[in-house]
Amino acid sequence: MRAGDLGILIDTGPDVRSQILREGIDRVDAVCYTHYHFDHLVGIDDLRPFFFHHRAPMPCFANEETAAVMRSNYDYIFGADPYPGAARVRLEEVTDPFPIESRYDDGAPSVQAEPIRLLHGDMPVYGYRIGRLAYLTDVSEIPPESRSQLDNLDVLILDALRPKPHPTHYSFEEAVQVARDIGARKTYFIHMTHNVRHAEQEQRLPDDIHLGYDGLTVEVEG
């Protein structure tokens, strides 16, 4: 994600390296982690090239549970004696809105990020709002106290796993209803399972809701 001049990642999945290369990403100022499941975390080592020529630390924002798992699983990064070649990242536990600032000496203005408390089954996870865009992956319930954080969105990125119900993800029917309740100008579904046929499912969706895809680009004002 580009927010002004800043480069922001949400999660580092197992294919983050190929995504970075495909999109020509040459700047990352921060990473916002949604939760500690393997498919959202394990690409953290692929942040290393962003420190070869610029050693300023990169903040990784997360909730308390995710930060604890990251410290345990990646002691060589976050422990008392980090490996010299590891990505130079620092964990920051967040509960309230926080600024994301430039890690480059270029005076780029900061942006405000807002963590949104969600449920992935019984597991507390985060979504994030930056400006008029919200990113909610791996979610099966939006608690009532989080709902007001999703008002006045231009773009909603929302979990929608498959047509059939699932205990820890929204189904397509559930996700459409959530999108209708939130009322963003545009909604894009993500995290579809492998047996979803993209063209077939796209035709079944309302005109303002679409399936995401690799390389999709959306622009949001402000």
- Per-residue pLDDT tens for 125-164? 999 999 999 999 999 999 999 999 999 999 999 999 999 9
Distance of CA 219 to the CA centre of its chain: 16
Global pTM reads 0.96
Work out the average pLDDT over 2-27.
96
pLDDT at res. 48: 95
- Per-residue pLDDT tens for 132-142? 999 999 999 99
How many percent of the chain have pLDDT more than 90? 95
Q: In this structure, what are the phi and psi dihedrals at residue 83, rounded to the nearest 5 degrees?
A: -65, 135
Provide the sign of the torsion angle of the four alpha carbons 66, 51, 20, 75, taken in this order. Answer: negative
Range from 26-35, 80-89, 142-151, 173-182 carrying the lowest mean pLDDT: 80-89
Confidence of residue 85 (pLDDT cuts 50, 70, 90): confident
pLDDT at res. 26: 93
Residue with the two structure tokens 């993500």 = 190
Query: What's the chain's average pLDDT?
Result: 96
Query: Could you write out the three-class secondary structure of the chain?
Result: CEECCEEEEECCCCCHHHHHHHHCCCCCCEEECCCCCHHHHHHHHHHHHHHCCCCCCEEEEECHHHHHHHHHHCHHHHCCCCCCCCCCEEEEECCCCEEECCCCCCCCCCEEEEEEEEEECCEEEEEEEECCEEEECCCCECCHHHHHHHCCCCEEEEECCCCCCCCCCCCHHHHHHHHHHHCCCEEEEECCCCCCCHHHHHHCCCCCEEECCCCCCCCCCC
pLDDT at res. 222: 67
Q: Give 59 or 53, the one with higher predicted confidence.
A: 59
CATH of domain 2-107: 3.60.15.10
Domain-wise residue ranges, the chain: 2-107
- Per-residue pLDDT tens for 203-220? 999 999 999 999 999 999
pLDDT surpassing 80 at residue 168: yes
Confidence of residue 53 (pLDDT cuts 50, 70, 90): confident
pLDDT surpassing 80 at residue 181: yes
Work out the average pLDDT over 19-25.
95
Work out the average pLDDT over 66-90.
94
- Per-residue pLDDT tens for 87-105? 999 999 999 999 999 999 8
